[in-house]
Structures are given as structure tokens and as C-alpha cells.
Amino acid sequence: MIYKAKYGSKAYEYIKSICEAEDKEFKAYVKRVEDSVGFEFDKFGGYMPDSTLTRICEVTSILVDKEKWEQLDKKLWKKKDVIKDYVRIVPIKRTKQGKAISAVLSSYNAVTDYWRILKELGLNEGSGNRITLPQLRYTNGHCFIRLGDNVRADNDNPDLVEITMSEYERLIEKE
């Protein structure tokens, strides 16, 4: 279910602040990773904040084109597999530099977590044995939270209004 936070409400300000802080930390994290590996990259394998309870981002592998792979130090990088035109690589942790890169890959500073989001927004986890991770988005001056069916946010917090997928798509399409 998708909920839109009412403009200017406490829920709106909270979601906006989390999205802005996570975006700032993500950019700083990617910069740290690029500085440690010694090159810029476009694609990576790993975790994004919306996919974990602790809302961490972690690069677990980097995807480089085959030409870049040929230029890299094979004593520092291990080829995991090939995905289309990209080679998925990871640092070799037996080396001093590989350990240093691995430490940077684990250096994302989480802004919040699953339980804090629910608490700050006054939401009940709902019943059932499954947890649906909240997905937050701030775009075009609107704040959204996507939750599973087990959480009825509009019942718990009047600042959150359930919207349809088509309304959500219309509001973000200006992006």
C-alpha cells in the first residue's frame, strides 16, 4: 500500500528528512568507495536501504566492463562472474589493500532503521509472520511511504493518506 504524507505534517517532515539524509550519506558512501577502489563505477551489487531492516547500503561487488577488468590488478581483485557485458568483481581480502577496500565497503552509516521509522510515524507493525520493509520516497515536493498490507498506516497516523498506484505514478512522473 502506498501512502502520501500530508504536506507540512510531522510525517512529511520526517520522511523528507530521512530521504535527504540517506541521499547525502549514499553519495558520501559511493565517493568513499570510489576513492578506495581508485576508479568510478556505475553499477554494483549489494544492498540498498529500502531492502534491509537496518537500512544500510553495502556494495558487495562492483560491475566493470571487460576492458576495465583487463586493466585491474588481479592480485587485488577477484572475478566472481560475468553478467552480460560486465565483470562482477570483489576485493581479495588477503591483501592489505583488499582489507582496506572491504572496510570501506562496510562503512555506510545508516540514518535510521525499520523499527524507528514505524515508531516515529506512530505505525503498528500489524499482525502476521511477514515483515514488509517500508520504502520511503521524497520527490516533486511529495513524501511517500510504501508498506505491506499488514500495516494500515492511515488508521494509525492521520497524516498519511492511502493513494492508488496510478495516483502515485502521476505524482512522481514529473521527476
What string of pLDDT tens digits covers the 175 residues of the chain? 899 999 999 999 999 999 999 999 999 999 999 999 999 998 999 999 988 889 999 999 999 999 999 999 999 999 999 998 899 999 999 999 999 999 999 999 999 999 999 999 999 876 667 778 899 999 999 999 999 887 888 889 999 999 999 999 999 886 5
Q: In terms of residue numbers, what domain contains 71?
A: 37-105
Residues β-bridged to residue 65: 86
CA pseudo-torsion sign 110, 135, 138, 174: positive
Q: What does the pLDDT read at residue 131?
A: 77
Q: In terms of domains, do 145 and 167 share one?
A: yes
- Assess if residue 150 is contained within a domain: yes
Q: In terms of domains, do 95 and 42 share one?
A: yes
CA–centroid distance for 155 within its chain = 27
- Assess if residue 30 is contained within a domain: no
Q: Containing H/E element for 98?
A: helix 96-105
CA distance 171 to 77: 43
Q: In terms of domains, do 118 and 100 share one?
A: no
Q: In terms of domains, do 122 and 92 share one?
A: no
Does the reported pTM lie above 0.85?
A: yes
Q: What does the pLDDT read at residue 128?
A: 67
- Assess if residue 65 is contained within a domain: yes
- Which of 70, 105, 140 terminates a domain? The answer is 105
Q: What does the pLDDT read at residue 175?
A: 53
CA distance 111 to 98: 27
Q: In terms of domains, do 14 and 69 share one?
A: no
Q: In terms of domains, do 100 and 122 share one?
A: no
- Assess if residue 48 is contained within a domain: yes
Q: Containing H/E element for 21?
A: helix 10-37
Residues β-bridged to residue 145: 3, 136
- Assess if residue 28 is contained within a domain: no
- Which of 83, 105, 127 terminates a domain? The answer is 105
CA–centroid distance for 57 within its chain = 5
**Residue found under cell 495516483:** 167
- Assess if residue 149 is contained within a domain: yes
- The count of domains in the chain is 2
- Assess if residue 133 is contained within a domain: yes
Q: What does the pLDDT read at residue 130?
A: 74
Q: At residue 17, what is the residue type?
A: S
Q: In terms of domains, do 137 and 168 share one?
A: yes
Give every CB contact of residue 56 below 8 A, 6+ residues apart in sequence. Answer: 47, 49, 108, 110
- Assess if residue 26 is contained within a domain: no
